[in-house]
Amino acid sequence: MLSELEMVLRLILSAIIGGAIGIEREASNRPAGFRTHILVSVGSTLIMLVSAYGMGESADPARLAAQVVSGIGFLGAGTILRTGSHIKGLTTAASLWVCAGIGLAIGAGFYLGGVVTAAIVLLSLVALGNFEVNVLRGANKLVRVTATDRAGLIGDIGTVLGEYNISIRNVTIDDIKDDDEGSGKIEIKFYVKKPINLNLQGLYDSLFHIRDIDEVDFEDQRIENWRNRKGGN
């Protein structure tokens, strides 16, 4: 029979591990953060403890524990958001699912497996997250274009990007909300792969020769169309 001290230690260890993973998610401004991961991890540990030690020898611990994995799916689905063609929250949903698994492992007494899994998760979220952004996604750059919506605008921009050997991977369009209703301002995001030797100034000049373009932001270098500024003076 499990002692009360060991039961408390398992719950505390589960809370610490869940909190560590939750802190990283909280720092990344994700919908499920510090408290949510603690609750998922501790709750999973408690359910495993109840199913393994609180329901008698005739009970099957795996049956109740299996429902935790299914139930976390509904919680994880609430963290996944789709905006246009973008889907966000998959990593947070996965971290909740893993937290539930870690909680079950700790509740069952598999301390080594739970701790090692938590270390791998933190490594994946922190170190591999930076690696993904800086290396894997580094080849794809973001070009933001603010313009007045009109027919053929995206085609004109795509033609200019093609002239500079820039490959377009994906395109999204968002309306810009302001005080002037019906202003028709949009923000177009081009996810592109740029060549090694890119004439950035020439690209800006070519883009600003396209009618109705107000601003271009490429690699965090935002430049306003000088023709618009001149026209406003």
> How is the chain classified by DSSP, letter by letter?
---HHHHHHHHHHHHHHHHHHHHHHHHTT-SS-HHHHHHHHHHHHHHHHHHHHSS-TTS-HHHHHHHHHHHHHHHHHTT-EEETTEEE-HHHHHHHHHHHHHHHHHHHT-HHHHHHHHHHHHHHHHHHHHHIIIIITTTEEEEEEEEE--TTHHHHHHHHHHHTTPEEEEEEEEEPP-SSTT--EEEEEEEEE--SS--HHHHHHHHHTSTTEEEEEETTEEEE-HHHHHHH-
To 10 degrees, what angle do helices 111-131 and 90-108 make? Answer: 160
Residue 84 has pLDDT above 50, yes or no: no
Pair of tokens at residue 78: 């609430």
Please count the structural domains in the chain: 2
Same domain, 24 and 132: yes
Q: pLDDT band at 136, cuts 50/70/90?
A: low
The per-residue pLDDT of the chain, averaged, comes to 81
Same domain, 46 and 121: yes
What pLDDT is recorded for position 102? 95
Same domain, 93 and 116: yes
Same domain, 129 and 162: no
Q: Is the pTM of this model over 0.85?
A: no
Please give the residue that has the higher pLDDT: either 81 or 151. Answer: 151
Burial of 109 (0-12, 13-18, 19+ CB in 10 A): middle
Q: Which residues pair with 215 in a beta bridge?
A: 146, 224
Same domain, 165 and 99: no
User: At which of 136, 155, 189 does a domain end?
Assistant: 136
Tens digit of each residue's pLDDT (9 = 90 or more) over 159-196:
999 999 888 877 888 887 664 555 678 888 888 888 87
What pLDDT is recorded for position 65? 74
- 227: domain range? 140-232
Same domain, 131 and 149: no
Cβ 47 vs Cβ 107: under 8 Å:
yes
Tens digit of each residue's pLDDT (9 = 90 or more) over 29-39:
777 789 999 99
Same domain, 96 and 157: no
